[in-house]
């Protein structure tokens, strides 16, 4: 017990001592000393100490031999603190200021990486995901043989997968809403919206691992759309649904929804046989 108390007291004294030293350094007008202290904090992973020091130094070090390293360290420290929005902006500032600088390639990569870390889950707005894709594509265009090429390409796949999942969530939502018309302000209906959303996703991402899931939604939506159609459109829509079911079976003969497709075909033929 006494040992734990002693360790606690020592830790508190150490923290107090460190805080006191940090405050002295932050207030000093000796920029060289402040810069070396900031570098030491950065090297030890004390990013919360390094960031304010580096922020205060970025302007005064501009034009000096330390300017590039100072700005790049600031971006990396912000990234280390998981302040990804600030980090992406600082990396961007570095690259725009020093496009041929010592850290230009890594700064370009980390613009995308910072945005990548801040992307939301698929059900939310994917504007940040689109920005991250653009940033990684810029990196690959500028540094086609860059040392982070493999990672950047994998990040693009991961981000595109997130966009695909967003589209699937949207299409499935339309299907689940079904015949509910409360959200159909432009005269369409949810099944048509599901079909359009799913087919666009299939066209945009032809090699997606959700391809079959989209196809299932299209097939089911076309059948439900035919079921609820007015007489003038019923025959055409049942024919379309029947064709969709045959196409689905041909492309996915082992699908868990094959029986559903076969049942749909039987019901469609009751309308289309004549």
Question: What CA–CA distances, in Å, run from 151 to 15, 75, 76?
Answer: 38, 19, 18
How high is the pLDDT of residue 29?
Answer: 65
Tens-digit pLDDT profile for residues 193-215: 999 999 999 999 999 999 999 99
Q: What is the DSSP string of 38-54?
A: HHHHHHTT-HHHHHHHH
Question: pLDDT band at 2, cuts 50/70/90?
Answer: very low
CB 121 within 8 A of CB 86: no
Give residue-wise pLDDT tens across range 239-269. 999 999 999 999 999 999 999 999 999 999 9
The pLDDT score that the predictor gives to residue 198 is 97
Identify the pLDDT of residue 32.
84
Give the distance from CA 219 to its chain's centroid. 29
Domain extents in the chain: 170-272
Chain mean position to CA 6: 47
What's the pTM value of the predicted model, to 2 decimals? Answer: 0.81
Confidence of residue 17 (pLDDT cuts 50, 70, 90): very low
Give per-residue pLDDT as tens, 25-74. Answer: 656 667 788 899 999 999 999 999 999 999 999 999 988 999 999 999 99
CATH of domain 170-272: 1.25.40.10
C-alpha angle 98/104/105, rounded to 5°?
160
The three-point CA angle 144-150-155 to 5° equals 105
Q: What is the pLDDT of residues 77-128, one digit of tens each?
A: 999 999 999 999 999 999 999 999 999 999 999 999 999 999 999 999 999 9
């Amino acid at each position: 017990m006494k040992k734990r108390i002693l360790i606690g007291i020592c830790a508190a004294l150490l923290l107090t001592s460190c805080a006191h030293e940090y405050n002295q350094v932050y207030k000093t007008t000796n920029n060289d000393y402040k810069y070396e202290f900031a570098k030491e904090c950065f090297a030890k992973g004390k990013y919360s100490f390094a960031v304010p020091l580096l922020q205060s130094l970025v302007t005064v070090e501009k034009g000096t031999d330390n300017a590039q390293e100072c700005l790049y360290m600031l971006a990396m420290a912000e990234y280390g603190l998981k302040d990804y929005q600030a980090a992406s902006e600082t990396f961007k500032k570095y690259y725009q200021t020093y496009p041929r600088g010592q850290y230009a390639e890594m700064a370009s990569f980390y613009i995308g990486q910072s945005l990548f870390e801040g992307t939301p889950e698929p059900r939310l707005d994917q504007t940040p995901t689109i920005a991250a894709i653009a940033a990684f594509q810029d990196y690959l265009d500028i540094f086609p043989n860059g040392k982070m090429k493999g990672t950047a390409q994998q990040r693009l796949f991961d981000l595109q997968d997130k966009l695909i999942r967003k589209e699937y969530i949207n299409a499935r939502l339309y299907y689940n809403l079904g015949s509910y018309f409360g959200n159909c302000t432009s005269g369409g209906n949810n099944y048509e919206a599901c079909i359009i959303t799913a087919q666009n996703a299939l066209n945009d991402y032809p090699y997606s691992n959700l391809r079959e899931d989209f196809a299932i939604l299209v097939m089911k939506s076309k059948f439900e759309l035919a079921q609820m159609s007015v007489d003038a459109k019923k025959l055409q829509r049942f024919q379309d649904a029947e064709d969709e079911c045959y196409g689905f079976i041909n492309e996915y003969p082992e699908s868990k929804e094959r029986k559903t497709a076969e049942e749909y075909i039987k019901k469609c033929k009751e309308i289309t046989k004549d």
